């Protein structure tokens, strides 16, 4: 029975009460599986979500081969599957407005001998599945023949046959879209469409640029971001992944702009909005390329910190918040936080007092096995190239409790860097001032951690290997030396 707020002072008659009760129960779903091939076992009702198949419900098959999946809540629309006992067979079907569905399945030939009733959507879907199975086999045959062609004539022949089959398949989908525009199958087909290319044989750079701009502009033509149905399909996530990983420029500003735009389009579709924000957060909390953590920080500041992701539990929200606060102060292009440290002679040494075109900061520990290998290697590169190029090394002891071993390691390996650590007094002063510790400011969660700063102490790069740092530094120094010198009027 639906809960009635105390503030609603209305007296219901018994007939009205029963009407409300029955309509409440009717809001749920019921999927009945009938399969003569099984007399026992556990079957699952699953749905596609991203790359995974998620379990919605499970049911034990009776000795008559019947299992009933049923809940009081409606199934969200999308592509669902029955997974048979043993988990080695499954049958896909669509769920839309119709929530009472009967599936009579013969696992000896699921595609041709299974009948779905109670859902008109699945008549179209099953016809399509039968057709795609036939066309798919022919497409694979022509593709294999093309790869094994002995001469150009054969390869051209199989390429044409493949193109003809593919055109037939696309025409079939276009007919469904035209004749059944509001069907779920039409929504799936439009979401699968790829934009056409303006010029299939680009000659000039301008041709390629025009192709790219047209492709990007029309990439989402088949998608309505207010339609939650396409979320629970195997097609939507790969399309999102391709867009953000291959189509959009990998610069953080470009990704941020595209993310905000898609989230704006999805603002009136709660499930789509949730899907996109979750995926974007997962994608950029541990980004593929340096600097893209700025996207994650933006998502936190603009969305998560404003309370829009109320579906996240306390633990998930804390993990997102903690990670964002670790990254806020060390984004590429931002000025690095000052480090007020003490050197091996117990003399104060401030990062901001170093005058150099480039500074490499290395956070490390003498007890870290990785550091014991990487730090001497880093020092070799420094002595071989960076030192002569005016680069300064600022080595920071990550764990001040290892001060004695740190000094011994420095002496043993002749590390002629600016070697510093944080005294207990310096640490207490920061705590008393309620300032974040240096490990948070520089996101030091493992050692060694490297940063590259320019003359203005802005972060140029972070968390690179010594070899990557060397390659980047050489490129920066070379480009700097190639800059034209302005004429001076005397």
- Both 368 and 448 in one domain: the answer is yes
> Given a cut of 80, is residue 24 above it in pLDDT?
no
Residue 231 lies in a domain: yes
Per-residue pLDDT, 7:
40
> Given a cut of 70, is residue 25 above it in pLDDT?
no
- Both 470 and 352 in one domain: the answer is yes
Cis peptide before 304 (omega within 30 of 0): no
Q: What global pTM score does this model have?
A: 0.82
Encoded tokens for 11: 């007296």
- Both 303 and 369 in one domain: the answer is no
- Both 221 and 151 in one domain: the answer is no
Last residue of a domain, one of 66, 96, 117: 117
Query: What number is the average pLDDT over the span 392-410?
Result: 96
- Both 113 and 178 in one domain: the answer is no
Residue 18 lies in a domain: yes
Number of domains in the chain: 4
Last residue of a domain, one of 72, 99, 117: 117
Residue 486 lies in a domain: no
> Given a cut of 80, is residue 15 above it in pLDDT?
no
pLDDT 10s digits, 288-339: 999 999 999 999 999 999 999 999 999 999 999 999 999 999 999 999 999 9
- Both 137 and 113 in one domain: the answer is no
Residue 487 lies in a domain: no
Lowest-confidence region among 286-295, 426-435, 451-460, 473-482: 473-482
- For 220, 255, 387, the CA distances from 258, given in Å and listed in that order, are 12, 5, 42
Per-residue pLDDT, 352:
97
CATH, residue 78: 2.60.40
Helix (H) or strand (E) holding 268: none
pLDDT 10s digits, 339-388: 999 999 999 999 999 999 999 999 999 999 999 999 999 999 999 999 99
- Both 307 and 433 in one domain: the answer is no
Last residue of a domain, one of 117, 147, 168: 117
Lowest-confidence region among 166-170, 198-202, 403-407: 198-202
- Both 374 and 467 in one domain: the answer is yes
Per-residue pLDDT, 258:
98
Euclidean distance between CA atoms 77 and 21, whole angstroms:
24
The residue range of the domain holding 89 is 14-117
- Both 279 and 404 in one domain: the answer is no
Encoded tokens for 111: 């595609």
Residue 417 lies in a domain: yes
- Both 130 and 236 in one domain: the answer is no
Of 449, 452, 470, 472, which is closest to residue 460 (Cα–Cα)?
A: 452
Residue 3 lies in a domain: no
pLDDT 10s digits, 111-149: 899 999 999 889 999 999 988 888 888 999 989 988 888
- Both 354 and 468 in one domain: the answer is yes
Encoded tokens for 18: 């029963």
Residue 201 lies in a domain: no
| Contacts of residue 113, Cβ cutoff 8 Å, sequence gap at least 6 | 105, 106
pLDDT 10s digits, 171-185: 999 999 999 998 889
- Both 71 and 165 in one domain: the answer is no
**Beta-bridge mates of residue 90:** 83
Residue 386 lies in a domain: yes
């Amino acid at each position: 029975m639906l809960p009635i707020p105390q503030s609603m002072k209305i007296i219901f008659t018994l007939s009205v009460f029963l009407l409300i009760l029955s309509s409440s129960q009717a809001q749920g779903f019921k999927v009945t599986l009938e399969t003569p091939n099984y007399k026992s076992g556990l079957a699952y009702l699953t749905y596609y979500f991203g790359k995974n198949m998620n379990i919605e419900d499970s049911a034990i098959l009776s000795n008559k081969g019947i299992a009933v999946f049923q809940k009081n809540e409606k199934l969200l629309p999308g592509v669902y599957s029955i997974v048979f006992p043993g988990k080695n067979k499954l049958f896909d079907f669509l769920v839309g407005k119709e929530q009472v569905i009967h599936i009579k399945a013969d696992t000896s030939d699921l595609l041709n001998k299974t009948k779905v009733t109670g859902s008109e959507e699945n008549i179209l879907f099953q016809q399509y599945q039968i057709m795609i199975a036939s066309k798919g086999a022919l497409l694979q045959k022509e593709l294999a023949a093309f790869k094994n062609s002995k001469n150009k004539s054969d390869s051209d022949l199989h390429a044409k046959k493949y193109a003809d089959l593919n055109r037939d398949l696309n025409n079939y989908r276009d007919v469904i879209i035209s004749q059944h525009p509001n069907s779920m199958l039409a929504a799936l087909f439009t979401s699968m469409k790829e934009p056409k290319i303006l010029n299939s044989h680009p000659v000039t750079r301008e041709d390629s640029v025009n192709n790219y701009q047209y492709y990007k502009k029309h990439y989402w033509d088949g998608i309505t971001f207010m339609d939650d149905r396409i979320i629970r399909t195997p097609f939507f996530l790969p399309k999102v992944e391709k867009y953000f990983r291959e189509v959009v420029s990998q610069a953080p500003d470009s990704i941020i702009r595209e993310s905000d735009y898609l989230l704006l389009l999805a603002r009136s579709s709660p499930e789509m909005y949730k899907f996109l924000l979750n995926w974007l957060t997962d994608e950029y909390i541990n980004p593929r390329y340096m600097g893209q953590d700025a996207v994650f920080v933006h998502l936190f500041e603009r969305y998560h910190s404003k309370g829009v992701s109320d579906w996240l539990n306390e633990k998930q929200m804390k993990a997102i918040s903690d990670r964002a606060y670790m990254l806020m102060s060390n984004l590429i292009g931002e000025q690095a936080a000052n480090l007020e440290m003490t050197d091996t002679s117990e003399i104060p040494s401030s990062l901001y007092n170093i005058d150099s075109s480039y500074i490499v900061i290395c956070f490390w520990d003498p007890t870290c096995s990785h550091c014991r290998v990487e730090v001497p290697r880093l020092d070799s590169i420094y002595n071989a190239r960076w030192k002569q190029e005016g680069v300064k090394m600022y080595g920071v002891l990550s764990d001040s409790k290892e001060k004695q071993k740190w000094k011994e390691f420095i002496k043993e390996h002749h590390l002629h860097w600016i070697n510093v650590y944080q005294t207990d007094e310096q640490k207490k002063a920061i705590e008393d001032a309620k300032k974040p510790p240096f490990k948070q400011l520089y996101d030091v969660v493992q050692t060694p951690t490297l940063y590259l700063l320019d003359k203005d102490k802005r972060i140029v790069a972070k968390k690179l290997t010594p070899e990557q740092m060397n390659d980047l530094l050489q490129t920066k120094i070379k480009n700097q030396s190639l800059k034209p010198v302005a004429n001076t009027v005397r």
